[in-house]
Structure 1
Amino acid sequence: MPEPKEEVIMEEHLCEAPRTDQRILERVIEGCRLHVKMVPQNEWREAEVLQRGRQLNGSMKFYVHYVDCNRRLDEWVTDLDRLNVSTLKMPQKGGKKGAHLRDENRDANEVEAKKSGRKRKIPLLVMEDIKTEPGESSQPVPAANGTPSLRGSMSMVGHSEDAMTRIRNIECIELGRSRIQPWYFSPYPQQLTSLDCIYICEFCLKYLKSKTCLKRHMEKCALCHPPGNQIYSYDKLSFFEIDGRKNKSYAQNLCLLAKLFLDHKTLYYDTDPFLFYVLTEEDEKGHHIVGYFSKEKESAEEYNVACILVLPPFQKKGYGSLLIEFSYELSKIEQKTGSPEKPLSDLGLLSYRSYWSMAIMKELFTFKRRHPGEEITVHDISMSTSIKREDVVSTLQQLELCKYYKGQYVIVISDDKRRVYEERIEKAKKKTRINPNALQWRPKEYGKKRTQSTF
């Protein structure tokens, strides 16, 4: 009989840790596990020590990953009374430090990605190609043993989850009116990682080391919106299409910024093969970035999104659904079906499932109203919504709408489910939606050389 799994959340009356002795802390090494008090959740969880270091006053600090939690919660623990050293477990001999991290945050999307033999791409940058102001460094993060290093092809050499790439290296960024704590590692120049805050121009996304440098830069920066073509403008929201080849510096800076909040990034490529669609809010000072998605100019797998992100200050405001909806509006104009690259992040998967459910249910209701008594197929749903067939099928299964009847599968919507989604669709009408009439865009042909014949 297998042993019961150890509960990682301790009872409050059992977990009051004694005052921590600095000498005992010397035993806490990378790969150890112990219970750490999470703030502000005020609960104790098992955590793995990924790195240890020294504070300015000489006392120790530990960078920990909470077991079975998303890596965005990883943090430096400087209040050592939050550590319960009585629960300390040393690394197992022969085991790989942090090996469990490679098994976490996986879902069906990652399994699908592995089957297809593809890894999710993020276009990133060659640091030496970035122009900097006097006194600023553009050196990439140096490669430690086992740590990926950047090379000219913009791919990473080494395992992307080894060593430093598992440690969040930027404490804070200031972007426009917001100060944001990053979630994950991003290969900003080494010189900037020791600063309390990195300052980023919200229009060109250039990163600077101080408020003074930012102010000086803003006096020279000619942009008040992202570069590229404004292809959508409605109700103070705009989309700008940026070509990764034509606007390389902006695209590289955008990828660096995005990597702070996107975990599922394993390979780094040139920005040339990508288009970036940046969503902005407009006021009297200009167009302020809210989020973006990228897509390959040519995708044999019919992916219409490579990476997608809403910046933390703008999350939970419906912008994720807006980005997804916009990507499918582009697919409709292209007369193609599309799907996001896998794996999706946990937040991304929730957003897509919500969008697919609403779009498919809305299509079913509309079809039944316009064509009473007629049949609709999965292919019909896919073509009218531009949602890839596989995503339509998985959504119907998740909603438990597929029933086996007289030798075939049919779509059956119960009265309760119909009422629930009719109410949701009605509420969605009050939310910000994409207005297709405000979209001015034509798909371009990439990679196909135009030839002229002379007779």
Structure 2
Amino acid sequence: MTKMADNRSSVEIVEGCRLPVLRKNQEHEDEWPLAEILSVKEVSSRKLFYVHYIDFNKRLDEWVTGDRLDMKKLQFPKKEAKTPTKNGLPGSRPSSPEREVKRKVETVPLATQVPPATPVPSLPSSAEASQASVFPAVRETTTFKAREDHEQISSLTTNGTARRLIPPQPGRKRKANCGGTDEDSQDSSDGIPTAPRMTGSLVSDRSHDDIVTRMKNIECIELGRHRLKPWYFSPYPQELTALPILYLCEFCLKYLKSLKCLQRHLTKCNLRHPPGNEIYRKGTISFFEIDGRKNKTYSQNLCLLAKCFLDHKTLYYDTDPFLFYVMTEYDSKGFHIVGYFSKEKESTEDYNVACILTLPPYQRRGYGKLLIEFSYELSKVEGKTGTPEKPLSDLGLLSYRSYWSQTILEILMDLKPDNGERPQITINEISEITSVKKEDVISTLQYLNLINYYKGQYILTLSEDIVEGHERAMQKRHLRIDPKCLHFTPKDWSKRGKW
């Protein structure tokens, strides 16, 4: 039986209401997930409602008609406390949307919703590791080499052959959610989520109550031969957001309001590749390094485009402290942008990536992992270990977990016994070889459930399923970075004044 909202009832719906909404193109048409009304507008005497499906990614937000609303379960928004307090603490009256939008324009950043940072678990102490629930038992029976030396962990395969030895981290407390997702919370001792440091031309922000920035404002973007449907809000000029299609020059990323304007621009635009230096080329894949200060307009346009597909970031226009590494595919017409990542010129937290994005037409083709691998190749040349800025988006988290797992397993499986003895290695050595930060190595090992505790010793055990799964994954991974094709000389930005 179809649930419908009559015209009289739909008039009562206001912003903030919650009610079940019918989602189209679903296998089961009787699915009515709970949604929040973010905006209401009238077109040709017909009311439209912009809805956000609760517990669904914001990229699925959409405009719906009244006949897709279940008015029987309508929930009106709760009234806010009328007693204002300072600093916007709980119980205070929120500022009006108009005032909030005005403030955002003046201070440049635009707010988006941000989940807590992804937890980075650590190895437990000896006492804590004795709890069997922390590390699951391995299904197959293995033999272990007992050691009094707690500087390392034995790593064994199912047939008893040693792979690796990893050091424990004594004195560190165990954290929950070892394999948490992007939406998992990372709580401090007082129960307050830990906020990441705000850096990057696209930075994390926790002020997510601005309704304007919660709604997609661009209908369609034409970029070269591709038409992209944005997932999230991006602060393009307001007069362009009402257009059915926003046109971008695929080489300089300048935005234009019509196809005619784009054609006129292309007769004048001399670029056929991103500005900056080409520091890598193999086959049709190239990487260009772009200084956010020297090529400010291009960098800002790149951030505007990226914001259409990154939810957990807020746009800042000061690109001077950042480098942008743009990956392209070459053909007879030029170098076409595939994706990019940005990076701070100087990072006190060892961030080697601030923002990272593969454009939708190129996703699920291995380019995301190639971007990640390239960022670590740069870290290797710099002689540093690196980590991406947290929190990661849902897709970013999946890509990084996959890359870390494959990279670490590749090292574990390549070791050969030395003079009949089981090979040994420390976490620090794995980190130095891969340039993956030690905390990310530990969290990956725990996410894969490889660490066990046996007779006072940490054991890293590789099951047959893990080995076979890794070998299948590596057979499908055709795109790899060739360090011999990288021509990159790191700069000491601390000696360059204001860059």
**TM-score of the aligned structures, taking structure 1 as reference length:** 0.82
Q: Hey, what's the Cα distance between the residues in 2 that align with 1:384 and 1:107?
A: 24
**Is 1:399–2:437 an aligned residue pair?**
no
Matched residue, 1:149: none
Conservation of the 8 A alpha-carbon contact between 2:345 and 2:493 = yes
Native 8 Å contact 1:160 1:266 kept in 2? no
Q: Which has the higher strand share?
A: 1
Aligned partner of 1:30 in structure 2 is 15
Aligned position for 1:68: 55
Q: Determine if the alignment matches structure 1 residue 171 to structure 2 residue 193.
A: no
Identical positions, percent? 56
Q: 1:54 aligns with which of 30, 42, 46?
A: 42
CA distance in 2, matches of 1:363, 1:222: 45
- The CA RMSD measured in Å over matched residues stands at 2.6
Code of the aligned partner of 1:32:
C
2:49–2:63 CA contact under 8 A, matched in 1? yes
8 A Cα contact 1:360 1:392, kept in partner:
yes
CA contact (8 A) 1:120 1:306 kept: no
1:335 alignment partner, one of 359, 362, 383: 383
Match of 1:420 among 463, 469, 472: 469
Matched to 2:227, the amino acid is R
Distance 2:234 2:417 in 1: 50
> Equivalences for 1:173-192 in 2 at 5 Å?
173-192=221-240
Give the residue type in structure 1 aligned to 2:467.
R
Match of 1:306 in 2: 354
Alignment correspondent of 1:325: 373
Counterpart Cα distance in 1 of 2:461 and 2:52:
44
- Counterpart residue number, 2:490: 443
The counterpart of 1:123, out of the listed 192, 201, 218, is 201
Alignment correspondent of 1:207: 255
For residues 34 and 106 of structure 1, the distance between their equivalents in structure 2, rounded to whole angstroms, comes to 29
Whether 1:83 aligns to 2:69 is: yes
Structure-2 separation of matches of 1:306 and 1:192: 28
Q: Write the deviation string for residues 79-125 of structure 1: whole angstroms up to 9, x where unpaired.
A: 33222222211112338999xx958687536755986643443416x
- Counterpart of 1:65 in structure 2: which amino acid? H
Quote how far apart the aligned CAs of 1:210 are. Answer: 0.4
Letter in 2 for 1:197: I
Q: 1:276 to 1:161 in 2, by over 3 A?
A: farther
Q: Mark the CA change 1:103 to 1:31 in structure 2 (over 3 Å): closer, same or farther.
A: farther
Does 1:387 find its partner at 2:373?
no
Long gaps (5+) in structure 1: 1-12, 125-153, 451-455
Give the Cα–Cα distance (whole angstroms) in 2 for the partners of residues 421 and 328 of structure 1: 20
CA offsets per residue over residues 179-204 of structure 1, 9 Å max, x none? 11111111111111111110000000
Partner of 1:132: none
| 1:410 Cα deviation from its structure 2 partner | 2.5
Query: What secondary structure sits across from 1:230 in the alignment?
Result: strand
C-alpha distance 320-34 of structure 1, shift in aligned 2 (>3 A): same
Distance (whole Å) between structure 1 residues aligned to residue 356 and residue 250 of structure 2: 18
Structure 1 Cα separation of the partners of residues 474 and 276 of structure 2: 34
Match of 1:235 in 2: 283
User: What does residue range 243-282 of structure 1 map to in structure 2 within 5 Å?
Assistant: 243-266=291-314, 268=316, 270-282=318-330
Partner of 1:142: none
In 1, distance between residues paired with 2:241 and 2:51?
Answer: 18
Asked if the contact 1:224/1:286 (under 8 Å) is kept, the reply is: yes
Unaligned runs of 5+ in 2: 82-92, 98-111, 120-181
Are residues 339 and 106 of structure 1, via their aligned partners in 2, closer, same or farther at CA, if it must alter by over 3 Å?
closer
Q: Distance in 1 between matches of 2:393 and 2:204?
A: 21
Are the structure 2 counterparts of residues 446 and 116 from structure 1 closer, same or farther at C-alpha, using a change threshold of 3 Å? farther
CA distance 1:424–1:225, shift in 2 (3 Å): same
Between the aligned partners of 2:15 and 2:234, the Cα distance in structure 1 is: 21
SS in 1 for 2:278: strand
> Is the 8 Å Cα contact of residues 115 and 312 (structure 2) preserved in structure 1?
no
Opposite residue 57 of structure 2, the aligned amino acid is N
Partner deviation per Cα, 1:378-418 (whole Å, 9 max, x = no partner): 11111101110000000000111111123232211123322
Summarize the Cα distance change of 1:106–1:171 in structure 2 as closer, same or farther, 3 Å threshold: farther
Are the equivalent residues in 2 in contact too, given 1:155–1:267 (CA < 8 A)? no
Q: TM-score, normalised by structure 2?
A: 0.75
